[in-house]
Amino acid sequence: MAPKAKRPPRKAEQESQPSAAGGWGSVEALAGILTQEEIPLLGPEILMKQNKPDGFMCVSCSWAKPAEPHTFEFCENGAKATAWEITNKRTTPEFFAKHTVAELREWSDHMLEEHGRLTHPLRYDAGTDKYLPVSWDSAFTEIGAQLKKLAPKSVIMYTSGRASLEASYMYQLFGRMYGTNNFPDSSNMCHESTSVGLPPVIGVPVGTVLLPDFDKTDCIFFFGHNTTTNAPRMLHPLQRAAKRGVPIVTFNPLRERGLERFVNPQSPMQMVAGGTRISSQYCQVRCGGDIAAIIGICKAVVEADDAARSAGGARKIDVEFITRHTHGFEEFAEFCRSQDWETLEQASGVTEAELRDAATTYMNADAVIANYGMGITQHEFGVETVKMIVNFLLLRGNIGKEGAGISPVRGHSNVQGQRTVGISEKTKLVPLDKLKELYAFEPPHEDGLTTVDACKGILDGSVKGFVSLGGNFARAIPERSLMEPAWMKMRLSVQIATKLNRTHLLPGEVTFLLPCLGRIEIDNQATGPQAVSMEDSTACIHGSRGMREPVSEHVLSEPAIIAGLAKATLSTNPNVDWEKWVGDYSLVRDAIEATYPDQFKDFNNRLFTPGGFPRPLGARERKWKTPNGKANFTVPESLNNRVEQGPDIYQLMTTRADGQFNTTVYTEDDRFRGVKGSRNVVLMNRADISKLGLRVGDRVMLSTAANDGIERKYGDLQVMEYDIPEKCVLGYYPECNVLIPLWHYAKESKVPAAKSVPVRIALQHRSDG
């Protein structure tokens, strides 16, 4: 069933879109967020330390940090995230005394978090329907008692992508000593398709590109990624590349401003002159048409190579690389030859001429980088699409050399690093024998639950407890109308957070809300101020120091909270001194190095290496840690990610706005798409609006096209015209998650297929215009 409307939706205004990303709009947005969060003086001072070797790492995106940073090494969205954390606004026990949980459920996501930082540990009281203050000792004691009563396999230990390497390592150790491998994290909802897709074909679960490669490449491809909102600092190396004539070829359903043109706000000349063109070719692929588009490029390359070989000319593929380093080329090449252009055009939405142009650009380059985002991973065939990008790169030896490689652009700031230190439900990815050796306990050996599996367990009642290290899980997941009532039937819910969010308003039988320090705050422990670490999208490790005084004397660091829970839950283990670890985080880093000696050699001494220190990855050196010791070409199962088709069915893509990061909504606006004042909108192609007899400004209902007996609807959405392929529509995440069935996910990875949700559109109310 659809969620009940809480209030009439605000009317959105559709304004003219900026001609470029960055520029004066970003400057105005920065000034606006600093004023909004009441930090006009403190904010600029702290921002000067963001993403610098002697400062703190951004709490939003995970894009790489340069060894020689700019004067202002932050983007508009990074500045918003910082301001959001260091805000002077507070959500105190007095606030909770005034508001019941039922009342707060009527607030928007933006209003909840905008009220400010949490200042005291809280326990939900069902009698008053309010959160009441509780001491830390009482909270730890009762949570420990509850966990002891529950079967460990019935407890989920979720991790948001922001928690540090130190906190993540402690958390997974606590959970495994407790007896569970149920460690889903936010990667399950975004780049798990990468983590599943890459190992069998190149032997590593992450990208192979380093930041300096962008200054050495001579061609860049983008597939399904909106750099403007998801990794804006990436625009700096892209701009440098574009200025030296590097072709940038983009495949994306929407024409996104950051991939068209960028004005660097740090350049007075750019601010006057109007910036730099980014994409040299922009192909608006249909929703889910990426596999077909990439096959088209590969087909053109294979056919050109066939012709060159017949004529005795220079080969268009890297024959030596393919012969020495790969397996499966002939089968893949024959598959490409067998495809007909009409089918590829129909499936991709891109013409043969456009695909041949992209192939020519590719063949004229010696070193090519392929970037991609969740526009690739969040489809039914997301894993196969990741493998297709590998096929594309292998054709010309574009993995394992300077200026080339595969570059999955991750989301949250340490989501990749958490997997590196053991946050995974897949036991094959965790050195369980090493943990046993170091800490003298027997870890559980069966795989744990993914995010989708955890949701199924909450729905059927087999999951009894949920401990969340950050995040807004109930808001981020699919099937919200079923999940929210089921969530409140759990026995235990423990939420570690900096701000109030929607998940906190779904109390279980026993519910605690535990406030933690943010990354930007000074973390004073027994041995003095502490530093933490995280891993960026390029698998480089960075240190981070807090800069701001803590929000309250009643908040604890994430490591301190984890240690408190562990001591209250577990039997004493002489091999783990939780108290010492909390007093000195360098001891945790020593433990990480002992567990992963090859990955974290000399960890503490290299912590603040400018630009970070890279983890060793075999594929960067053309050492393929695959079962057959080769990089593997694969043949896709399907040409198309769109699972439901019909004359009345449209493909919904969910997306983030300029004014948000993940589930955090800073403003109701989406500046780069010209949307102002409301997120209750659906962006549609002009021809589709006309075919449905609609007008811009009409209110419509979206309903999921699924025959499983469950009604999924989301209404009062204002129709807006946008440059988007026909039969594709766009709505905002996380609001549109209510339309995504739990079973609608990527094969193998179980990533929710949020970029291709089949929906029907029905008129609700005519606009006045």
Helical H runs in 378-529? 382-394, 415-420, 432-439, 451-460, 473-476, 480-487
- 449-463: per-residue pLDDT in tens? 999 999 999 999 999
User: What is the pLDDT at residue 540?
Assistant: 95
- 705-740: per-residue pLDDT in tens? 998 999 999 999 999 999 999 999 999 999 999 999
| Polymer length of the chain | 769
579 or 2, which is more confident: 579
Distances (CA, A) of 568 to 148, 512, 562, 689: 9, 15, 10, 59
Asked if pLDDT for residue 170 goes beyond 90, the answer is yes
Q: What percent of the chain has pLDDT over 90?
A: 78
User: What is the pLDDT at residue 642?
Assistant: 61
- 224-277: per-residue pLDDT in tens? 988 877 787 888 888 899 999 999 999 999 988 878 877 767 766 666 567 788
Query: Cβ distance 418 to 412 under 8 Å?
Result: no
- Tokens at residue 505, please? 């308003």
User: What is the pLDDT at residue 258?
Assistant: 78
- Tokens at residue 126, please? 């069902």
User: What is the pLDDT at residue 634?
Assistant: 98
- Quote the CA–CA distance of 511 and 504 in Å, as a whole number: 9
Lowest mean pLDDT among 16-25, 173-182, 458-467: 16-25
Average pLDDT of the residues in 615-643: 91
pLDDT-based confidence at 448, cuts 50/70/90?
Answer: very high
Asked if pLDDT for residue 395 goes beyond 80, the answer is yes
647 or 132, which is more confident: 132
- Quote the CA–CA distance of 389 and 411 in Å, as a whole number: 19
- Tokens at residue 277, please? 């063109």
- Is pTM beyond 0.85? Reply is yes
529 forms bridges with which residues in the sheet? 524
- 176-199: per-residue pLDDT in tens? 999 999 999 998 998 999 999 999
Three-state SS string over 307-351 comes to HHHHHCCCCCCCHHHHHHHEECHHHHHHHHHHCCHHHHHHHHCCC
- Quote the CA–CA distance of 745 and 741 in Å, as a whole number: 8
- 228-242: per-residue pLDDT in tens? 777 878 888 888 999
Max intra-chain CA distance, the chain: 84
User: What is the pLDDT at residue 2?
Assistant: 38
Bridge-based pairing of strands 540-545 and 531-535 is: antiparallel
Q: What percent of the chain has pLDDT over 70?
A: 96
Asked if pLDDT for residue 1 goes beyond 60, the answer is no
Average pLDDT of the residues in 410-429: 90
Average pLDDT of the residues in 24-48: 83
- Tokens at residue 167, please? 């906190």
Asked if pLDDT for residue 3 goes beyond 50, the answer is no
Asked if pLDDT for residue 411 goes beyond 70, the answer is yes
Distances (CA, A) of 370 to 279, 328, 767: 13, 21, 43
pLDDT-based confidence at 388, cuts 50/70/90?
Answer: very high
- Quote the CA–CA distance of 647 and 484 in Å, as a whole number: 33
**DSSP reduced 3-state for 91:** strand
Average pLDDT of the residues in 280-307: 97
Residue type, 660: Q
User: What is the pLDDT at residue 639?
Assistant: 83
User: What is the pLDDT at residue 478?
Assistant: 96
Query: Cβ distance 501 to 511 under 8 Å?
Result: no
- Quote the CA–CA distance of 393 and 403 in Å, as a whole number: 12
Burial letters 248-268, b for 16+ CB under 10 A, else e: bbbbbbbbbbbbbbbbbbeee
Lowest mean pLDDT among 41-50, 550-559, 626-635, 719-728: 41-50
The answer for 479, left when phi > 0, alpha when psi is -120 to 50, beta otherwise, is left
- Quote the CA–CA distance of 769 and 767 in Å, as a whole number: 5
6 or 584, which is more confident: 584
- Quote the CA–CA distance of 739 and 700 in Å, as a whole number: 14
pLDDT-based confidence at 647, cuts 50/70/90?
Answer: confident
- 562-571: per-residue pLDDT in tens? 999 999 999 9
pLDDT-based confidence at 159, cuts 50/70/90?
Answer: very high
- Measured in whole angstroms, the distance separating CA 451 from the mean position of its chain's CA atoms is 14
